[in-house]
């Protein structure tokens, strides 16, 4: 188990230690969720936008649209995709 301490900045920002990011596989633009547990601890998870995107890719027809793909996702997967795309868009607006 890796234990590391960081100070929460005044804007609520914190850097996840490199060793933890590397070990867990967190990468730039990953979607992370934060869940408060009953004991007050917080669980951070790397969320998947699509569990079986590679399977879909093989089945897609040439004229399969983005709307068709989004319609094939569950509501939770659609929400995660929207969140991910919103974060990407916001990041591009900074540049």
At residue 73, the pLDDT reads 84
pLDDT tens-digit series, residues 19-72: 988 988 888 878 888 899 999 999 888 887 766 665 555 555 556 677 777 888
Eight-class DSSP state of 77: H
Residue ranges and CATH numbers for the domains of the chain are 12-47 (2.10.260.10), 49-95 (no CATH)
At residue 74, the pLDDT reads 87
| Residues 8, 89: Cα–Cα separation, whole Å | 25
In b/e form, how buried is each residue of 52-77, taking b as 16+ CB within 10 angstroms? eeeeeeeeeeeeeeeeeeeeebeeeb
pLDDT tens-digit series, residues 43-52: 888 887 766 6
């Amino acid at each position: 188990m890796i234990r590391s301490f960081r100070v929460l900045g005044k804007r609520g920002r914190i850097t996840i230690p490199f060793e933890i990011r590397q070990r867990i596989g967190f990468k730039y633009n990953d979607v992370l969720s934060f869940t408060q547990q009953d004991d007050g601890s917080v669980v951070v998870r790397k969320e998947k936008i699509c569990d079986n995107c590679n399977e879909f890719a093989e089945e897609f027809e040439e004229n399969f649209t983005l709307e068709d793909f989004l319609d094939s996702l569950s509501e939770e997967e659609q929400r995660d995709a929207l969140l991910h795309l919103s974060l990407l868009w916001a990041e591009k607006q900074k540049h």
